[in-house]
Amino acid sequence: MRRFLLGTVFSALLAAPLAGGPAAAYEKAAVSPSGSYLAGRSAAKLRDNSLASDYLRNVLKWDQGNPLLTEKLFLLELSEGNLPKAEDYATEVLKFNSQQRMARIVLGLREFRARRYEEARKNFAEAAYTPVGELTSALLTAWSFAGEGELNPAMKALDRLESNESFGTFKAFHAALIADYLGNAIRAEASYRKAYEEAGMSLRVAQAYGNFLARNGRAAEAQKVYRAFLANDENPLILAALDASVKNEKPQAFITSPGAGAAEALFSLATSMTDEQSIDVALLYTRLALGLDADKPVLFTLLGDTYEDMRRFDKAIEAYAEVPEGSALRSNADMEIAVSLQRLDRKDEALDKLQQLIAREPDNYDAIVTLGNLYRSNEDYAGAAKAYDDAIALITEHVPGHWRVYYYDGISHERLKQWDIAEQRFRRALELSPDEPSVLNYLGYSMIEKRINLTEATDMVKRAVELKPNDGYIIDSLGWAYYQLGDFEQAVVHIERAVELLPADPIIAEHLGDAYWRVGRKLEARFQWQHARDNKPEPDDLKRIEDKIKNGMPEETPVTPAQNAPGQSNG
C-alpha cells in the first residue's frame, strides 16, 4: 500500500533484499533490433525505465516512426523525468493517436507553463474521456482559469466533477485553494470547511486549512486543526506548522502561483493512486508535478515513496536525497534512505545512516524505532530491544498508535528468551489497542507454546481469527491451540485451512503433520512432514522434521518450537 510522509516509520523490513537494481541483470544493449526490443521489454517489466529507454531507442533507429515504440518511449522518458524528450515524443504520439491522454496532459502543461492557458485547456479537454482523465482535466483546467485571474470560470470547470461522487473532496479542496489564491476569503473558507469535514485527516487538507486560518489572524483555530491531525499522526509538516503558529509566525500562502496549484492537483491525484495497477500513472503525475512551480520537498518524498512501492529502492534513495537540508522532511528522508539501503542488503550503510541521524537528533522517536526495526530484521534482537526500550522511554503521553513499538519490543525480548518482559510489552500493546490481531496472535501463540494460560491464550487467538479470518498464520495458531488442548480433530480442521492459505510454510505443514499423526492419519502425517522438509525450514527445524519422518512421534505430545514471528512472517 502507498505511504506518504508517515510521521512514524514502522517498516517491517523483512522483504527479501535485492542485491542491486534491475540493471544488474543485463549486459550491454543488444546489437540486433530484436535483441534490443526483448531486453527493453524485460527492463520495462522490472521498471528499470532508464535502461528500457536505452534499448528501445536503439530499436527505433531501425524502425523509425513505429507508433508502439514511440508511445512506449514517451512514457518511459516521462517516468524518468526527462520532460523535454517526453514532450518531443508526445508531439509524435499525437500524430497517430490524437487522443492519447497522457500526451495531451504533457503538452497541455507545456502550454500552461508558458501561460498560454487557452491552448492548455484545449489539450486538457482532449484528455477527459476516462474517469481519471476527466478528474485531471477538470482540475488543471480550473487552475488555468486561476492563472488568468478568473474565479467563476474556474469554479465552473470544477462543477464538472459533480457527476462523480468520489470526486467531491477534490472539488472542495481545489475550489478552496483557487478562491484563496485569487483572494476570495469568504468563498475559500466555505470550501476549506467542506473539504475538512470530508477529509480532515488528509495531510494537505489539514495543512492548507490551517495555513488559511493562520494567515487570517485565527491562530487558535489553526492550532486546533493541527492538533486534531497530530492526535493520529505526528507528521513533521504539521508539527512545523503548529510550532510556527504557536510562535505567532505568519506563514506564506499555501499556493503562491498557478503552477503551484496545478502541481498540487497532480499531487492530489498521484497520492490517490494506491494500487499496483495505477502506481505507474502515479509516478508520471509526480514527475509532471515536479516540472511545475511545486512544493519540491513534498514531491520528492512522494517520488521516493512511489519508488519504494515499486521496489526500485535505488531510485527511492535518489529521490529522498533531493529533499533539501533544512526541510521539515529531511529527517524523514534520511530514515527512508536507511530503509531502502536495508532492502538493498546494504545493512551497514543503513545502520550508519540512522545512527548519524540519531546522533544529531537524540530525541527523534521515529528514527530510534526505525533503528529497532533494522536491528530486528537483521535478527539482532538485543540491539532491537535496546532501541525500542529507548524509544519507549521518550514517550510522555501515550496514544493508541504506540501499540506498535510495544509489540515490536515484545517480539525482541521474546526472541531473547526474556519472557517476563515480553509478556508485559505485549499486554501493554493490547491496553493501547485491544483488537490488534498481530498482538493477540503473538501473545496467544506464545502462551500456547509455553502451555500457560491456555484458556486465555485460545480466546486471544480466536479473537485474532475473527479479526483476520484469512490469515494463515493466525488460523494455524488457533489450530495449534486446539492441538495443545488435546482436541486433535479440531486442530486438523484449522491447520488444514492454514495450509491452504500458506502452502509453502514449513512450520504450518509440520503442525498439520503432527495433528494428522495424533488422529491416526500417519501416512498423511509423513507426507506433510516431507512437504515441510522440502520447503526449506531453518536448520534446527529441519533436524526435528527429519526425525519425525524417520521415527514418527512418541506417545507423549511434544511441543513444537514456535513459528518464526508467529502470525507475522512479514514483520
Ordered by where they begin, the domains of the chain are 435-571 (1.25.40.10)
Cell numbers standing for residue 194:
467542506
DSSP 264-313: HHHHHHHHH--STTTHHHHHHHHHHHHTSS--HHHHHHHHHHHHHHTT-H
C-alpha distance from residue 361 to each of 21, 68, 450 (Å): 31, 51, 40
In this predicted structure, what is the pLDDT of residue 460? 96
Q: In which residue are the cell numbers 467563476 written?
A: 152
Side chain identity at 115, as an amino acid letter? R
Angle between helices 101-113 and 67-79 (to 10 degrees): 50
Please give the chain's pLDDT, 571 residues, in tens: 344 443 333 333 323 333 334 444 444 444 445 554 454 455 455 565 555 555 455 555 554 666 778 888 888 889 999 999 999 989 999 999 988 999 999 999 999 999 999 999 999 999 998 899 999 999 999 999 999 999 999 999 999 999 888 899 999 999 999 999 999 999 999 999 999 999 878 999 999 999 999 999 999 999 999 999 998 888 999 999 999 999 999 999 999 999 999 999 999 999 988 777 789 899 999 999 999 988 999 999 999 999 999 999 999 999 999 999 999 999 999 999 999 999 999 999 999 999 999 999 999 999 999 999 999 999 999 999 999 999 999 999 898 989 999 999 999 999 999 999 999 999 999 999 999 999 999 999 999 989 898 889 999 999 999 999 999 999 999 999 999 889 999 999 999 999 999 999 999 999 999 999 999 999 999 999 999 999 999 998 999 999 999 999 987 654 454 444 444 433 3
Residue 449: its pLDDT value, please? Answer: 87
Cell numbers standing for residue 377: 530484521
Helices 258-272 and 168-181 sit at what angle, rounded to 10 degrees? 160
Are the CB atoms for 66 and 60 separated by under 8 Å?
yes
CA 472 to each of CA 173, 198, 411, 500: distance values in angstroms, whole numbers, following the listed order: 41, 36, 19, 8
Contact call for residues 425 and 410 (beta carbons, < 8 A):
yes
Report the Cα–Cα distance between both ends of the chain, in Å, rounded. 15
CA angle, residues 38, 42, 46, in degrees to nearest 5 = 165
Query: Closest Cα partner for 414 from 374, 455, 391, 444?
Result: 444
Residues 6 or more apart in contact with residue 170 via CB below 8 angstroms: 135, 139, 161, 268
pLDDT at 200: 73
CA 549, CA 526: separation in Å to the nearest integer?
6
Q: ∠ CA(291), CA(207), CA(113), 5° rounding?
A: 20
- Which of 308, 301, 314 minimizes the C-alpha distance to 346? 314
3-state secondary structure 418-474: CHHHHHHHHHHHHHHCCCCHHHHHHHHHHHHHHCCCHHHHHHHHHHHHHHCCCCHHH
Which has the closest alpha carbon to 480: 568, 550, 571, 558?
Answer: 558
Q: Letter for the amino acid at 279? A: I
**Residue of 360, 310, 368, 365 whose CA lies nearest to 338:** 368
| Amino acid identity at 536 | K
Residues constituting the chain: 571
Nearest to 135 by CA among 104, 112, 163: 163
- Identify whether the C-beta of residue 465 lies closer than 8 Å to the C-beta of residue 475: yes
**Strand residue runs (E) in 336-474:** none
Cα 487 → chain centroid: 41
Which spans in 127-278 are helix H?
Answer: 131-147, 151-159, 168-181, 185-199, 203-215, 219-230, 236-246, 258-272
Contacts (Cβ under 8 Å, ≥6 apart) of 314: 20, 21, 340, 344
pLDDT at 11: 32
Nearest Cα to Cα of residue 462 among 447, 442, 477? 477
**C-alpha closest to that of 4 among 367, 329, 302:** 302
pTM of the model as a whole: 0.82
**Contact, 145 vs 117, CB < 8 A?**
yes
In whole angstroms, give the CA distance from residue 2 to residue 286: 13
Query: How much is the CA Rg of the chain, to the nearest whole Å?
Result: 28
Burial class (CB in 10 A: 0-12, 13-18, 19+), 282: buried
101-113 and 279-290 helices, crossing angle to 10°: 10
Q: How far apart are the C-alpha atoms of 124 and 196, rounded to whole Å? A: 28
**Nearest CA-CA partner of 162 in 154, 170, 151, 174:** 170
| pLDDT, tens digit (0-9, with 9 covering 90-100), for 518-555 | 999 999 999 999 999 999 999 989 999 999 999 999 87
CA–CA distances in Å: residue 508 to residues 118, 528, 562, 571? 64, 9, 10, 17
Contact 167, 161 (CB under 8 A): yes
